């Protein structure tokens, strides 16, 4: 019994020595993520609306705060719409949604020349089997940022 306890103690000491040594170069590979990196977020709208909600303004404000001190390279805003209504009306609505988000981002101090606006209307809002895709009343925002 005494030899088992000694063997276990020796194994514990050997393992402790290994863990204190660590993996060579491991600490050099672990780095803090930069706040100035690509960010993606969605802005949701009420049905047939292009006005920003309070939650949307909060999301824009939080992202703007996270990216303070960063260089904003591009901001891609894609407006989407559900399949309710005509294709032309949905295209116009998704364009208005993208523009509303871009205007709010500009008001938050983001550089307007960096914007790329697109609108998909209701394209993709219904599957091939005719099922309506949920949560299509939104814009998708992709921000490419880098440290100054």
Q: What is the pLDDT of residue 102?
A: 92
CA–CA gap between residue 43 and residue 49 (Å, rounded)? 12
Q: What is the pLDDT along the chain (148 residues), one digit of tens a residue?
A: 444 443 444 444 444 444 445 555 555 555 555 788 899 999 999 989 999 999 999 999 888 888 888 888 999 999 999 988 899 999 999 999 999 999 998 888 887 667 889 999 888 887 777 777 767 889 999 999 999 8
What pTM was estimated for this model as a whole? 0.71
Q: What is the pLDDT of residue 7?
A: 42
Q: What is the pLDDT of residue 141?
A: 93
Q: What is the pLDDT of residue 57?
A: 93
> Structural domain boundaries of the chain?
39-147
- Helices 87-107 & 54-66, crossing angle to 10 degrees? 50
User: Cα–Cα distances in Å, from 90 out to 35, 52, 75?
Assistant: 35, 17, 22
Q: What are phi and psi of 120, to 5 degrees?
A: -105, -5
Q: What angle do CA 29, 30, 35 make, to 5 degrees?
A: 120
CATH match of 39-147 with 3.40.50.11540? no
CA–CA gap between residue 60 and residue 69 (Å, rounded)? 16
Sheet with 39-44, edge to edge strand ranges: 39-44, 138-147, 70-80, 115-121
Lookup result for tokens 């802005």: 43
Lookup result for tokens 């399949």: 83
């Amino acid at each position: 019994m005494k030899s088992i306890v000694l063997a276990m103690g020796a194994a514990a000491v050997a393992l402790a020595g290994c863990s204190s040594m660590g993996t060579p170069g491991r600490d050099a590979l672990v780095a803090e993520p930069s706040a100035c990196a690509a960010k993606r977020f969605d802005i949701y709208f009420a049905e047939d609306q292009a006005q920003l909600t309070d939650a949307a303004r909060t999301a824009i404000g939080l992202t703007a705060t996270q990216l303070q001190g960063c260089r904003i390279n591009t901001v891609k805003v894609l407006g989407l719409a559900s399949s309710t209504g005509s294709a032309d009306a949905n295209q116009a609505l998704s364009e208005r949604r993208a523009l509303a988000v871009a205007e709010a981002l500009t008001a938050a101090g983001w550089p307007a020349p960096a914007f790329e606006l697109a609108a998909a209307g209701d394209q993709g809002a219904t599957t091939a089997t005719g099922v309506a895709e949920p949560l299509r009343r939104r814009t998708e925002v992709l921000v490419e940022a880098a440290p100054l």
